[in-house]
Amino acid sequence: MSVKPRWNVQDIPDLSGRLALVTGANSGLGLASVVALARKGARVLMACRHPDRAARGRDAALAQVPEAAERLEIVSLDLTSLDSVRTCARTILERFDRLDILMNNAGIMAIPRGLTADGFEIQFGTNHLGHFALTGLLLPLLLQTPASRVVTVTSAAAEFGVIDFDDLMGEKRYRRWSAYSQSKLANLLFAVELQRRLSLSGYSTISLAAHPGIAATNLQRASMAAEASKFQIASLKGFLSIAQTADQGALPQLYAATDPQAEPGGFYGPRGFLQMKGSPAQIPLRLNRRGRDEATRRRLWEVSEALIGFRYPLADS
């Protein structure tokens, strides 16, 4: 079903009584999503790694939505540590009896090679495996919440991604942009495969994917700060000159998370030229033909389960 051409945050329905969890909620797309969800009445858990940054993000959100003071809460989550992911999920499962929206938003982009606490290449480990583990651990709560949604934020960089099963962790060869694209393709494949398995299992929970187009966030600055040539710095300045704001970039993931017309397994991004800017539109999975490759999706799922050490309670055939 098509999205109306000028969909914006005013079109988000009333979310009173709903619980949302947003990862990477202290800045950028995550913070914009927190503000929009809270403004419509949701209780929002801001899942963040750094306490100080999280507190500043909450203050920034409350400056825009002061009436949400009792509905915005910080929860500790470090996606580079499976122990932290397990602790976060256990806390939420113990405290809440529903979870309406899980927005897998946090990410890192094109940084030098590093390892997570569990020995995974840091971009694949953070962007994909951390969210894969978090979603699986929170699945019991999602499944008992009628019509709950999992929204996984990917990137147009998925178009260039290849899942290198022979070198997932970049041990043989590491190129930071290739590693980033692989992790973003993994996000897309996960979202599609999760919907397939939810449908097979007969649950009302749905999985969707979204990408922001070109949006100015801390991701670009962090990437350039980590390792940048003069050319890359100049490119960043050019990028920022044409980028839309984080508020605009968050619209596709907000549509996926809240609109009654969003379709199970749907993929949403900007409707403008080359999907760079604009209000949300549904994007065919031709964004990357690998997104339609069921064999790759199933293999990635199985490998991911082996790496995180547990299996999802969902049918696969």
Cβ neighbours for 12, distance < 8 A, ≥ 6 positions apart: 36, 37, 39, 40, 254, 258, 259
> Among candidates 138, 25, 134, which has minimal Cα distance to 72?
25
Strands 206-210 and 72-76: unpaired
* Residue-wise DSSP of 169-222: T-SS---HHHHHHHHHHHHHHHHHHHHHHHHHHT-S-EEEEE---SB--HHHHH
Q: Which of 180, 203, 255, 268 is catalytic?
A: 180
Q: At what angle do helices 82-95 and 131-143 cross, to 10 degrees?
A: 20
Q: Is 180 a catalytic residue?
A: yes
User: For residue 92, how many other CB atoms are within 10 A of its CB?
Assistant: 21
Name the residue type at position 300.
Answer: L
Catalytic positions, written as ranges: 180
